[in-house]
Amino acid sequence: MGRRLFKELERSYGFDEVAIVPGQVTINPELTSTKMTIGDLDFEIPIMASAMDGAVSPGFASYMHEMGGLGVLNAEGLYSRYEDPYSVLEEIISHPQETVTEFLQKVYSEPIREELIGQRVREIKNTGATCAVSFTPQNTKRMSPAAVEAGADMVVVQSTVTTARHMSNSYRGLVFSELIDALKVPVIVGNCVTYEVALELMETGIDGLLVGVGPGAACTTREVVGVGVPQVTATLQCAAAREDYFRRTGRYVSVITDGGFRTGGDICKAMVSGADGVMLGTPFAQANEAPGQGFNWGMANPHPELPRGTRISVGTKGSLKEILYGPTSKTDGTQNFVGALRVMMGMCGAYTIRDLHKAEMVIAPSIKTEGKFFQMSR
Amino acid sequence: MGRRLFKELERSYGFDEVAIVPGQVTINPELTSTKMTIGDLDFEIPIMASAMDGAVSPGFASYMHEMGGLGVLNAEGLYSRYEDPYSVLEEIISHPQETVTEFLQKVYSEPIREELIGQRVREIKNTGATCAVSFTPQNTKRMSPAAVEAGADMVVVQSTVTTARHMSNSYRGLVFSELIDALKVPVIVGNCVTYEVALELMETGIDGLLVGVGPGAACTTREVVGVGVPQVTATLQCAAAREDYFRRTGRYVSVITDGGFRTGGDICKAMVSGADGVMLGTPFAQANEAPGQGFNWGMANPHPELPRGTRISVGTKGSLKEILYGPTSKTDGTQNFVGALRVMMGMCGAYTIRDLHKAEMVIAPSIKTEGKFFQMSR
Amino acid sequence: MGRRLFKELERSYGFDEVAIVPGQVTINPELTSTKMTIGDLDFEIPIMASAMDGAVSPGFASYMHEMGGLGVLNAEGLYSRYEDPYSVLEEIISHPQETVTEFLQKVYSEPIREELIGQRVREIKNTGATCAVSFTPQNTKRMSPAAVEAGADMVVVQSTVTTARHMSNSYRGLVFSELIDALKVPVIVGNCVTYEVALELMETGIDGLLVGVGPGAACTTREVVGVGVPQVTATLQCAAAREDYFRRTGRYVSVITDGGFRTGGDICKAMVSGADGVMLGTPFAQANEAPGQGFNWGMANPHPELPRGTRISVGTKGSLKEILYGPTSKTDGTQNFVGALRVMMGMCGAYTIRDLHKAEMVIAPSIKTEGKFFQMSR
Amino acid sequence: MGRRLFKELERSYGFDEVAIVPGQVTINPELTSTKMTIGDLDFEIPIMASAMDGAVSPGFASYMHEMGGLGVLNAEGLYSRYEDPYSVLEEIISHPQETVTEFLQKVYSEPIREELIGQRVREIKNTGATCAVSFTPQNTKRMSPAAVEAGADMVVVQSTVTTARHMSNSYRGLVFSELIDALKVPVIVGNCVTYEVALELMETGIDGLLVGVGPGAACTTREVVGVGVPQVTATLQCAAAREDYFRRTGRYVSVITDGGFRTGGDICKAMVSGADGVMLGTPFAQANEAPGQGFNWGMANPHPELPRGTRISVGTKGSLKEILYGPTSKTDGTQNFVGALRVMMGMCGAYTIRDLHKAEMVIAPSIKTEGKFFQMSR
C-alpha cells in the first residue's frame, strides 16, 4: 500500500486540535499591549467584526470603534440594497428555518443601490468611527471609489476564495495593484489559505490579508464543495508568507485570521499561529447590540444556485463590552476576549503581538478527552 | 514496542478526512468543462449511477442520459429475473426491516432470465440513451454478448473485489483480454483499490476501472469480512496506476470512484484524488425518479449465506435534475452536484478534470470539529 | 516542545482502526482451508472459545468440538467450585446489576475442589470431544497433572499478564519448561502482548501463545490499571516473534489472539495480523447454547480487592452453528464467522492461514466515518 | 501545502491516548514499594490531595496523613479568609449553578487573614500530621514564613503557570532561591509543563515540581485562553529535565503530576510517564470526608475578571480509605488507587517507582474503540 499514490497529503490543523505552550518567562497581563496596525491605521485591539449582515450594521461599526476594534460593513448586503434594512432584518429573523435559505436568496436578489453605500459610510463616519467597507472582487472597481469618496477609511475585498489572478469571461479580473493605486486607503484582501497565494497577494501592495476558507459556523463550503483548510494551518502558512515578504521588502502586511472562532482560546491560538488580528462573525452576532438579534447567516448563504451556509440561531450572550472586555462570570471562554488574550500573553511572556508570534503550540487532543468524567451539576 | 512487527501498516484516508486546497489561480465556474470520456464514449458530466436495483431501472438510465451522465443497469438484478420487476420492488419497499434481508435473499434466488437482459437493453436504447449493463465475472462471458447484440454500448464487469487473476474450481476465471476482443464495446471492470491490481487490470485492455471496496452506505463489507480501503487512498493509488500506464503506453484508462459519496464535496474530493468520474448509488436512489422510492440496498446484500449490506431508508430528496444541477436551497451539499463541481473547479483554477488532477488536498479534521458550537435554530 | 522527552511512545492499533487490503489474486472461498494446528492437535477451524464461565461449560466444549473448534474450560471457575454450578449460574444471571460484582466476589471465594476438575474433564471426554482446561499460573503445577490424568488433551495457563519469569514470595514461580516436560500434552500460555515476552515464552517449549491484555468487552484492565496493548499491534508483535523463533528453531508455535472481537471482520483482521487462531468469549456467550444465557463476565471480575471487569448483558444471537457457519440474514458481521473468514481469504487470494499472513492491512478511519449519512429504516 | 509554515507543531498526548505495556518480568504486587520522597520528607504512597477548598480542609489533611499520603491546604482559600469556613462551604454547595461563579467571585474577594493561616497550620499539626500549605507566587514571600513558623512542614508555591522568571510592575518577582534559603522546609513549585521551565525551576533549588496546565476536571484554562499541554507529554518533558538535572548535579527533584486524573489507570500512566508522585483534586473531592460534600471548584474559578473553571458536581464515591486502598466492588477504576498502582507495578515487574520509570507505554486508541459493542445490563 502507499508505494504509489497519485499525490501526497499533509496533515492540517484546526483550533480544537492545538494548545498553546506556556513560555519560559511569564509577565503580568497589565504589561501587555494588544495593538494592531493595518496600513496607516492603528487599533487598540486586534479584533475585527466580519462583514456579515447579522453582525455589523452602521451602528455596530460605531460600537466596535468605541471598543478599540473595527467593524466592517458589507457594502453589498442589506444595508445597501434596502432603504430600510431593519425591517428586512426583522423578516429574516422571524422567518421559519425550513425555508429561510429560499427567503434569503430572494431578499439578496434585490439590486445593490450604490447611493446607499455612500449613505451608510457617512452614517458611520458621523459617529466619529473608523469606517471599513467590504466588496466582492466583481464589484470593487466600480463601487469602492464612491465609498472612499464618502469617507471610508479602509476597503476590504472579499470572496470565499480570492487569488491575485482570477479568470473570467464576463468581467476583467480585478487588478489589485491598480485598485490600491486608485483608492489611497488601506486595502485588505481575502480570503486565502496558502503560502503561495498569500505571497502573490502581498506583492500586489495590499495592506492586510484575510485568512480562512470554510471554517465559520455559518458556512458549509467544506460540505458543499469540499474546499477548506483548517485555520491553524492556514494561518501558519500565510504568516510564513508575511515573514518572507517582510524580510525581502521591509513592508509588513497584516495577517487577519477570519472565521471559525468560538472562544477566547481560539483567538489566542490564531495569534500564536502568526495572526496580527482576527475577524469574528458569530461571536459578535451574539452581542446584545448586533443587528441579527441572536441570528447570523453567511454571505455565501444567499447564493442563488449553490447556497453554502445557513441562518443559525446564535443567541445573545451579553453586551459587546462584556464580550470584549468582561468582567465576566462565564467560564466557557465566550466573554472577555481581550482579557483572555492578555492573560495568555502573560503566560507566554509576550509584551506585544509580535512577541507572541514566537510562542509555541502543540498538537493536542480535543479538550473533551481529558476531564470529561464528571457531569456539570444542574 | 514496535521494534519488531510482523508487518507495517500505512495510514489510509476517506472523504471525511481530507479537504481541497484552493488554487493559485481562480476561474469563473462557467469557464469549466466537466466532460468525461470512456473508450470512445463521451459524457457531459463525469457522473454515473450505480448498478443497484433501487437506483437504476431502464427508465432511470434514460433520465441519466438526458442529464448528460450514465446510468448502469444491473443485468443480474430484478430487471432480468422478473418479467414485472416493479411489483417486486413494491414488495421489497413495503417489507418490514427486521426480515428484509431474508426477503431479499429469497427474491434474488429467482434465476436470471437471459432473454430479459436483451429486453431491458432494448428498452433503454429505444429512448435514445447510451446503455451500460453490469455483470458479475462469473456470468459475463456467457451473458454479455447477447446484451451487446441487443445494443448495449458498454459492459461493466463488477464484483466486490475483482482482480485480473481469479482462481476457481467451478468455472474458468474470466480472461479480460479475451472478453474485450470479443465484445467490441468499452469495458469497465471493478472493483479494486490498489495500484498493483489497477495496473494489471489496465494491461488487459479495459477502458475504465471502478475503484472502491467497502465504502458505500448500503455495504457492510468492512464489518463482515474486515476488507476495504477508504476511497481517497484507493483513488490515489488507482490514479497513480493510470498515470504510469498512460506514460508507458499512451492509452488513457478512466478511473471511476465508486461508492461512499454523501455530498457534492465528496465528489469533488474524489476528482481531486485523481478520479475521471464517479459512480453513485444512494444519492441517486434519493431522486424522485429512482425505482427504489426512497430505499436502497447493496448488491452484496442478498448473498444467500453471508449477506453484506442492508436495505436502508434513504428518503427522496428532489428530482434528478435538482440533485445534479440545482438550483437548490439545500445547504448541506446533497443537491446540485455539478454546480458544486464547477464552483470547486473555479476555486482550484481548473478548466478541465485533467487540470483538476493537479489540485492539492490536505488531511483535515472532520468538519464537525470546527464551528460546532452553535445549534441550528429550530 | 518534544526536544526532550523522558521516553518515546509508538502508536498501536486496534481492530477498529485497520482494514484488510484485497490481494492481487482472488480465489473462490471453497478453495480455502481454515485448518489450525496446536502441538499435535489439529482443528478444522482456527476458533477457540475462552475459558469464561458464561461461555464454556462442559457441554459447550462438546458443541465446539462438533463444530471443528475448541472450547476451553476454566478449571478454576464455577464448574470446579460447585457440585451444581448451574444453579449458581442462575443466581448470577438473575442478580441485580448494581451489586453483581460483590456477588461474583462472594461466589468465586468458594474454594476450588480439585476432584471436580477431573470430573468435568471426564464429562467432556465422554462426549468424544477434545478437552482443554485452563489454570492460573499459581495453581497449574499443583492442579494440572490430575486434569491430564483424567484425560485432558491440552492445558492452558492463563493470567492477565504472564511472563516466563514471575517473581513471588508466596510461591515459586511456575517454570514452564518443567511443566511441559511433566504434562506430555500441548501447553498454551498467556496472555502476553510484546515481541520479547512472546519469544521468551516460546523458548520455554510452549505449543501456543495467547495474545491480548485488556481488550475484551468484559474486561476493564485498561481503566483500572492503565495496562493494555490493542490487539492488532499485540498480534503483529507476537507473530513477529513466532516467525523469528521458527526461522531459528524450525518449531512453529501457534499464536492465538484472545479477546476484543465483535465481528467476523475483527477475526479476519487478527488472522491477517499474524494470528494462527483466535479465542473469543463474548461472541460465544451470545450463543443459544452458552451457559451464561445472554450474560458474560470476565475472569478478573471477581478479584476480591481490585475487580477488573463486569457482568455484561450480551444477549443471545443465534445457535452456535449459525454463529460459526451461518447461513445468516444478519448483516452486521456477528454471524457466520467461518464464512466471513473464507470469503476474506478468497479476496486476499489465500488458500491457507499461512498464505493469509502475507496479506496487507492499512490503518483506516473507523467505519463510522464513511457512509453514516443515512439512517437505517425502522 | 506545508512547504512553508510559520512554525512546526509536535503532537502531545493525554492519559486517554496511551496505555502501559506489561514488562518482561512480572512480580507479585505485595513485593512492590510505593514510597515517595520530597526533600527530607518520606511518604508511604505517592499521592497528594490538591490545594482545592472542596477537597482539602485541615481535617482532610489529617486523614490523608493517616493514609500515608499528603493533603495540601490552600493558604489563600476559604480557610484563611473566614473564621468559620464551613458555613461558607455550605453556602457554596447550596448555591444554584447558574450564578455560582458570581457567588464564588464574591466569596473569594474577602481578604486573606494571615493569622488564620497559622491557626490552620496548627490545627493540622495538632493531629500529628505532616502539614503542607500552598501560596500563590505574589503572596509567598510575605505569608509563607509565618506558616512555617506555625509548624508547616512543606511550602507549595502554585499558580496556573509558573516560571523561574516572572515580570511584573506591581511586585518584584518571587526569587525562588532566596525563598528556599529563607524557609528551611521543602518547597514545591508549579505548575509547569516544559523541559526548559522545569530545568530552570530545579536549578533554583526547589524540592518538588508540580506538572500540569489546564488538564483538571474543574479547570477551563484551555477553553478560555487556549493554553495547556496534555499530562502525559507534560510529565515526559519534566521527567526528562529531572533526569538531566540529576545526572549533572546528583540532586533528585521529585516530579508531581497535578490534575486531570479520573481513574487508577490515569495515575499509573502518570507514574510510567516519569512522575514520582501525583496530585489529585476531584477524585478526593469525591471522598465522603471531603469538605466539598460532592462538589469541587478550581482555584482559578473565582478570578474576578476572567474566571477559568466552574463548580462541578462530582458526587461522593466512598470513604478516603476505599478510594485509596479498597477493597472495592467498583470496576471503573475510581477506587483502590494504591491497589491499582501495585497491580500495575507487578505487571511491569517494578519493585519501586524508580523501576517503574523504565516501563514502556504506547499510544493507543481510547478504550471506547474496543469492546463497545455490548451494552451494560441495567
What's the confidence (pLDDT) of residue B351? 97
Condensed to tens digits (0 to 9), the pLDDT of residues B335-350 reads: 999 999 999 999 999 9
Residue C50 · residue C280 · CB < 8 Å? yes
- Phi then psi dihedrals of residue A11, to 5 deg: -75, 140
What's the confidence (pLDDT) of residue D299? 78
Q: How confident is the model at residue B3 (pLDDT cuts 50, 70, 90)?
A: low
Integer Cα distance of C11 and C95 in angstroms: 40
* Mutation site, B3, B5, B202, interface C, largest C CB count within 10 A: B5
- Which grid cell sits at B327? 438550483
- pLDDT above 70: percentage of residues in chain C: 94
Considering the domain boundaries, does residue B349 fall inside one? no
ipTM, two decimals, is 0.93
- Number of compact structural domains in chain C: 1
CB contacts of A14 in chain B (<8 Å) are 364-365, 369-370
pLDDT: which is higher, B365 or D26: D26
Q: Is the pLDDT of residue A28 over 70?
A: yes
Considering the domain boundaries, does residue B77 fall inside one? yes
Q: Is the pLDDT of residue A61 over 80?
A: yes
Considering the domain boundaries, does residue A362 fall inside one? no
CATH code at position A147: 3.20.20.70
C1 touches chain D (CB under 8 A): yes
Condensed to tens digits (0 to 9), the pLDDT of residues C319-378 reads: 999 999 988 878 788 899 999 999 999 999 999 999 999 999 999 987 653 333 333 322
What's the confidence (pLDDT) of residue B312? 87
* Mutation site, D1, D9, D21, interface B, largest B CB count within 10 A: D1
CB contacts of A366 in chain B (<8 Å) are 369
What's the confidence (pLDDT) of residue B247? 97
What's the confidence (pLDDT) of residue C1? 45
Condensed to tens digits (0 to 9), the pLDDT of residues A231-266 reads: 999 999 999 999 999 999 999 999 999 999 999 999
For the ranges B10-24, B25-39, C164-178, D17-31, the lowest mean pLDDT is seen at: C164-178
Would you give the end-to-end CA distance of chain A in angstroms? 51
Give the dihedral sign, CA B297/B303/B305/B307: negative
Condensed to tens digits (0 to 9), the pLDDT of residues C5-50 reads: 889 999 999 999 999 999 999 999 999 999 999 999 999 999 999 9
Condensed to tens digits (0 to 9), the pLDDT of residues B144-167 reads: 999 999 999 999 999 999 999 888
Give the dihedral sign, CA B180/B182/B183/B184: positive
Q: How confident is the model at residue A378 (pLDDT cuts 50, 70, 90)?
A: very low
Question: What pairs with residue C49 in β-bridges?
Answer: C71, C280
Q: Is the pLDDT of residue A354 over 70?
A: yes
Q: Is the pLDDT of residue A376 over 70?
A: no
Find where cell 479568470 sits: A167
Q: Is the pLDDT of residue B373 over 50?
A: no
pLDDT: which is higher, C302 or A294: A294
Residue A17 · residue A364 · CB < 8 Å? yes
Condensed to tens digits (0 to 9), the pLDDT of residues A178-216 reads: 999 999 999 999 999 999 999 999 999 999 999 999 886
| Chain C nearest CA to B70, separation (Å) | 23
Q: Taking residues A119-123, report their average pLDDT.
A: 98
* Mutation site, A8, A266, A361, A362, interface D, largest D CB count within 10 A: A362
Integer Cα distance of B118 and B147 in angstroms: 5
Residue A209 · residue A243 · CB < 8 Å? no
Considering the domain boundaries, does residue C156 fall inside one? yes
B21 touches chain D (CB under 8 A): yes
Q: Is the pLDDT of residue B309 over 90?
A: no
Q: Are B374 and A217 inside 8 Å of each other by CB?
A: yes
CB contacts of A229 in chain B (<8 Å) are 19, 21-22, 362, 364
For the ranges B308-317, C32-41, D305-314, D326-335, the lowest mean pLDDT is seen at: D305-314
Q: How confident is the model at residue D205 (pLDDT cuts 50, 70, 90)?
A: very high
Interface of C with A in 315-374 (CB under 8 A): 360, 362
User: What distances in angstroms separate CA A333 from CA A262, A371, A374, C234, D226, one per listed residue?
Assistant: 8, 17, 19, 41, 9
Cis peptide preceding D304, ω within 30 of 0:
no
Residue B89 · residue B79 · CB < 8 Å? no
Condensed to tens digits (0 to 9), the pLDDT of residues A310-350 reads: 788 999 999 999 999 988 878 788 899 999 999 999 999 99
Greatest Cα pair distance, chain B, in angstroms, is 65
For the ranges B57-71, B321-335, C183-197, the lowest mean pLDDT is seen at: B321-335
Considering the domain boundaries, does residue D368 fall inside one? no
**Which among A1, A213, A224 has the least Cβ separation from residue B265?**
A224
Q: Is the pLDDT of residue B377 over 50?
A: no
Considering the domain boundaries, does residue B32 fall inside one? no
Give the dihedral sign, CA A201/A205/A211/A217: negative
Considering the domain boundaries, does residue B272 fall inside one? yes
Q: Is the pLDDT of residue A147 over 60?
A: yes
Q: Specify the pTM.
A: 0.94
What's the confidence (pLDDT) of residue A3? 60
Q: Which residues contact A276 (CB under 8 A, 6 or more apart)?
A: A36, A37, A38, A46, A208, A254, A255, A256, A353
**Which among A11, A169, A200 has the least Cβ separation from residue B24?**
A200
Range of D307's domain? 43-317
C9 touches chain A (CB under 8 A): no
Q: To the nearest 10°, the Cα dihedral for B211, B216, B220, B226?
A: 40
**Which among D235, D369, D376 has the least Cβ separation from residue C17?**
D369
Q: Which residues contact D286 (CB under 8 A, 6 or more apart)?
A: D294, D314, D315, D316, D317, D318, D323, D334
What's the confidence (pLDDT) of residue D366? 74
Residue C377 · residue B312 · CB < 8 Å? yes
What's the confidence (pLDDT) of residue D69? 98
Condensed to tens digits (0 to 9), the pLDDT of residues B164-204 reads: 988 887 767 789 999 999 999 999 999 999 999 999 999 99
- Which grid cell sits at D245? 538535572
Q: Is the pLDDT of residue C240 over 50?
A: yes
Interchain CB contacts (distance < 8 Å): C and D: 231
Q: Taking residues B57-71, report their average pLDDT.
A: 98
| DSSP 8-state symbol, A289 | T
Q: Is the pLDDT of residue A371 over 50?
A: no
Q: Taking residues D113-121, report their average pLDDT.
A: 97
What's the confidence (pLDDT) of residue B331? 79
What's the confidence (pLDDT) of residue A367? 61
Condensed to tens digits (0 to 9), the pLDDT of residues B81-91 reads: 999 999 999 99
Q: How confident is the model at residue D307 (pLDDT cuts 50, 70, 90)?
A: confident
Q: Are C25 and B163 inside 8 Å of each other by CB?
A: yes
Q: How confident is the model at residue C211 (pLDDT cuts 50, 70, 90)?
A: very high
Q: Are A225 and B20 inside 8 Å of each other by CB?
A: yes
Integer Cα distance of B229 and B212 in angstroms: 7
Condensed to tens digits (0 to 9), the pLDDT of residues C53-78 reads: 999 999 999 999 999 999 999 999 99
Considering the domain boundaries, does residue A159 fall inside one? yes
Integer Cα distance of A183 and A155 in angstroms: 8
pLDDT: which is higher, C306 or A41: A41
Condensed to tens digits (0 to 9), the pLDDT of residues C308-320 reads: 777 889 999 999 9
Residue type, A59: G
Q: How confident is the model at residue B296 (pLDDT cuts 50, 70, 90)?
A: very high
C7 touches chain B (CB under 8 A): no
